[in-house]
Chain A
Amino acid sequence: MSNFKLTRRGMMQTGGAAGLVLATPTLLTAGSHSGYTNAPTGSTVKIGFNVPQTGPYSEEGLDELRAQELAVEHLNGIGDGGMLNTFSSKALDGTGILGKKVEFVTGDTQTKSDAARASAKSMIEKDQVVMINGGSSSGVAIAVQGLCQEAGIIFMAGLTHSNDTTGKDRKANGFRHFFNGYMSGAALAPILGANLGTDRRAYHLTSDYTWGWTQSESMIASTEAMGWTTAENVLTPVGAGDFSSYIAQVLGSGADTLILNHYGGDMINSLTQSVQFGLRDKVVNGKNFEIVVPLYSELMAAGAGENIKGVYGSMNWNWQLQDAGTAAFVKSFGEKYGRPPSNSAHTCYVQTLLYADAVTRGGSFNPCAVGEALEDFEFDGMGNGPTLYRGADHQCFKDVLVMKGAENPTNAYDTLEIVEVTPRAQVEYPSNHPMFGGDEASVGSCNPGA
């Protein structure tokens, strides 16, 4: 211990000397100042895919990554072009974006706000990306959206279903294609009323963060509007793993319906444990006990297996839809990966294409030009029918799917069946709706950064 100090210093002297040598080079040309953050200079443009690769939502994140890679291939003219062939806007021609070849970097959000922001910062500061896409948690999406607004780049949200993302936390540089809690409630309530009756008593188990809060708020509002009552709304931590202590209390409350405002690994665990507790075999208030999962995904359905049979939920998109856009996307995704895409994969794929299209139509990577091109943009051919990117809150409006766990699935991928395609008009709301921050909420002005 007594000797190394001198040698350490010697090493550091060498390091310091190296630093000094580096510090005295000849000055070359100064950087370009194009008026916005990370303006691409060469023949390529870089975008960042920030998805959870570990943690409770990692399955979704890895599927998003597959779709994003596919989208980059299609933008660069590799493969069959996928939805570029069915997209109503024909600005993209498979030569990259504005003639620049698209490159991408990836990062792991770990489903944690801190890690997601660190990863996004390294994309912005080190890799100089002009856009960040992806993510699979609303808490993370809101955190990263705030960061992108400050840094002056575009954030194309991935899977985020909280009302707040385009509600009270909406940002001028952030855009969401995915649907939200309010839309789930508005689409599900009529189907639940018609199939389960209008006099039920619901018990909510809710993920304790922004998505769970707004999802349960929306579900309570829309089910109570048709005559249901709410027994209790219990908040559970994300990634809890074991929900048995929460489920044990459900039957004692006199509720005949359990609404699981859970997602990803949490939903698989809570639904499986509810079924193991025998909830679905019980008869309460003279009615069969039912479980509802407002936000579904194929990956969750596959994870929950048998247990989802007959359970209602909603989705943004499903590969079983019959339109041309869906068919084109499912075909190219299937050829590359040997499986159908999930709805989180779909939304990230579409967001990447929409961004590229907006840059091309706006003629610049400047976030303000991109924002202007996306605001109030109407398009079709992306699998959801005619869609509107509303300018007031940067939320997409399109049809919503009401789903049900299939009774007789024929393979590992058709575990969900489409009950109804709820038309867009039924899930629309004014941009100053009280659940979305009311009159105070505003996207503010776009920030081009530097």
Chain B
Amino acid sequence: MILGLNRRDTRFLIIVILLTLFTPFLMQPFSEGSALAQFNGGYPDLMAKVAIFGIFAMGFNILFGLTGYLSFGHAAFLGVGSYSAVWMFKLLTLNVFPALIFAVIISGLFALIIGYISLQRSGIYFSILTLAMAEMSYRLAYSVLTPITNGETGLQIRATDPRIFDSATSSGSPNLFGLELSSSFKWEVLNHVFTFNVGFYFCAFVAIIMFYLTLRIFRSPFGLILRAVKSNQTRLNYTGHNTRPYTLAAFVISGLYAGLAGGLLALMDPLAGAERMVWTASGEVVIMTILGGAGTLLGPVLGAGAIKYLEIIFAKINENVLHGWFGFLPDGLEDFIVFILSRFTGEGWHLTLGLMFMGIIIFLPGGLVQGGQRIAAKFRRKAPNDDDDSEHHPKSTSHVAE
């Protein structure tokens, strides 16, 4: 038992740590100048976004994956976290810690208020209440609270900010006790360029801590009660448990994760805009979680990675790139293929995402994790259900989409 984990979970955690540390290699598989370099994603901004949205989705999964309460308003906490962090940058210092701490506290308070109100109801009514709350927060940030949020333009740090703890000579970007998050080390080997960025490793470090916390929550008696809420809340009530405090705690915890993610977003790019809180952003985290596998530990992180990668990399494939790929075909055929494919790339990447989401919901209701499980099962002779650790893996409940 290390850190309160059994051997299986310790190994699991170590593997996740290794995966995270080697992300700059794993996301940069193709050599520079090759035709496939287009699909490299190993640059700091994208890697950090995967880690950050991984945290966001992990937190969302504690609420949705364990208790089955589907919140459509989690982007509000993300936005609150970002605004709080940028305000700390403006008022106190560009060091990351005050910003992160303040982001978590404020979003936690928000989650407490919104959660208390929304959890008066369950099921679809809960979802609608959270959606309404988030939309209200968005409208407030967009126009009513313009002096605090700077409206559509977004809150930015300026040279004229007070920043009372920083000396006048300090640099203009967020730092870790002087070490700027934007600084990177580039390593060129074998025609590959690997970028090791301070900001990414900071986000990855936080993500690993949050992953460990999530693991502990999943394995705890508290986590068991949350699963019981999802299985049959009425029966749980009959056995004498008051479920409200548990669901509220799960809601606030997931709000804290979201606020932390929002703070980290502001760290990597010190700008907070209202569009971060719009309802489509709330929908995105739902899609991430379901795409990866709701209720599983690694699923939400995989889902977040898949969506952020698609969003950036697919959106960059414009018609010129496609023409480059299919240039060897006869003209008429080339134009036809490029026309069809360009509907699904560039500005049409949402179509690809939609198709992928449909496919996964229909054929793999357990998400990418279930896909990996099925592939692995093909290669294994061992019969399923011989897990030595069944106590920690209660029988899965039916998927929300079923």
Query: Which A residues form the contact surface with B (CB < 8 A)?
Result: 1-13, 15-16, 18-20, 22-23, 25-31, 53-54, 58, 69, 104-108, 112-115, 117-119, 121-122, 125-127, 139, 142-143, 146-147, 150, 208-210, 235, 237-238, 440, 444
Contact = CB atoms under 8 A, between A and B. Distances in A.
A112 B15 contact: no
Contact of A122 (B43, B271, B390): B43
Given A7-B377, A209-B151, A440-B160, 19 more contacts: A2-B389, A4-B376, A4-B377, A7-B379, A10-B376, A16-B22, A25-B189, A28-B188, A31-B188, A113-B154, A119-B312, A119-B315, A122-B45, A125-B44, A150-B173, A150-B182, A209-B152, A235-B143, A238-B152
Nearest to A65: B318
Contact of A117 (B146, B190, B271): B271
Interface residues of B, number: 67
The list of the 4 closest CB pairs from A to B, nearest first, reads: A7-B376, A4-B373, A19-B22, A209-B152
Given A8-B376, A150-B173, A106 B316 contact: yes
A79 B298 CA distance: 53
Interface in B23-53: 25-26, 40-41, 43-46, 49
B169 interface: no
B273 A3 contact: no
A217 to B, nearest CB: 14
Interface in B3-30: 8, 11-12, 15-16, 18-19, 22, 25-26
B103 to A, nearest CB: 16
A360 B39 CA distance: 32
B369 interface: yes
A4 B372 contact: yes
A104 B319 CA distance: 12
B316 A105 contact: yes
Interface in B185-240: 186, 188-190, 193, 195
Given A126-B46, A150-B172, A106 B22 contact: no
Given A25-B190, A125-B45, A107 B316 contact: yes
A23 B142 CA distance: 46
B283 interface: no
A122 B395 contact: no
Interface in B126-165: 142-143, 146, 151-154, 156, 159-160
Contact of B12 (A4, A9, A118, A125): A9
Contacts of B189: 25-28
A347 to B, nearest CB: 21
A444 B160 CA distance: 12
B167 interface: no
Contacts of A8: 298, 369, 372-373, 376
Contacts, number: 170
Contacts of B387: 2-3, 5-6
B235 to A, nearest CB: 21
B170 interface: no
Contacts of A29: 188
Contacts of A5: 8, 12, 387, 389, 393
Which among A29, A114, A118 has the highest number of chain B CB atoms within 10 Å?
A114
A369 to B, nearest CB: 22
Given A113-B154, A235-B143, A16 B369 contact: no
B380 A7 contact: yes
A381 B390 CA distance: 77
5 contacts: A3-B377, A8-B372, A118-B49, A125-B44, A150-B182
A68 B389 CA distance: 60
Contacts of A19: 18-19, 22, 25-26
Contacts of B151: 208-209
Nearest to B394: A1
A22 B152 CA distance: 44
Contacts of A115: 275
B346 A444 contact: no
A143 B347 contact: no
B46 A114 contact: no
Interface in B252-282: 269, 271, 273, 275-276
A58 B11 CA distance: 49
A125 B153 contact: no
Contacts of A209: 151-153
Interface string B270-306: 0101011000000000000000000000100000000
A118 B195 CA distance: 17
A112 B376 contact: no
Contacts of B243: none
B15 A3 contact: no
Interface in B303-357: 312, 315-316, 318, 320, 346-347
Contacts of A142: 153, 156
A23 B376 CA distance: 26
Nearest to A21: B25
Nearest to A142: B153
B402 interface: no
Contacts of B380: 7
Nearest to A20: B22
Contacts of A25: 189-190
Given A125-B44, A440-B160, A139 B153 contact: yes
Contacts of A127: 316
A346 B240 CA distance: 72
Nearest to A236: B143
A113 B271 contact: yes
Contact of A15 (B19, B154, B347): B19
Given A5-B387, A28-B189, A28-B190, A54 B347 contact: yes
Nearest to A115: B275
Contacts of B382: 3
Contacts of B142: 208, 237
B301 to A, nearest CB: 12
A449 B385 CA distance: 56
B188 A12 contact: no
B316 A114 contact: no
B393 A143 contact: no
B312 A444 contact: no
A2 B385 contact: yes
Contacts of B43: 121-122, 125-126
A7 to B, nearest CB: 3
B347 A12 contact: no
A122 B312 contact: yes
A287 B153 CA distance: 37
Nearest to A103: B320
B372 A11 contact: yes
Contacts of B26: 15, 18-19, 22
Contact of A108 (B159, B347, B370, B390): B347
Contacts of A208: 142-143, 146, 151-152
A414 to B, nearest CB: 29
Given A8-B369, A16-B18, A208-B152, A114 B315 contact: no
Given A25-B190, A113-B154, A143-B271, A12 B15 contact: yes
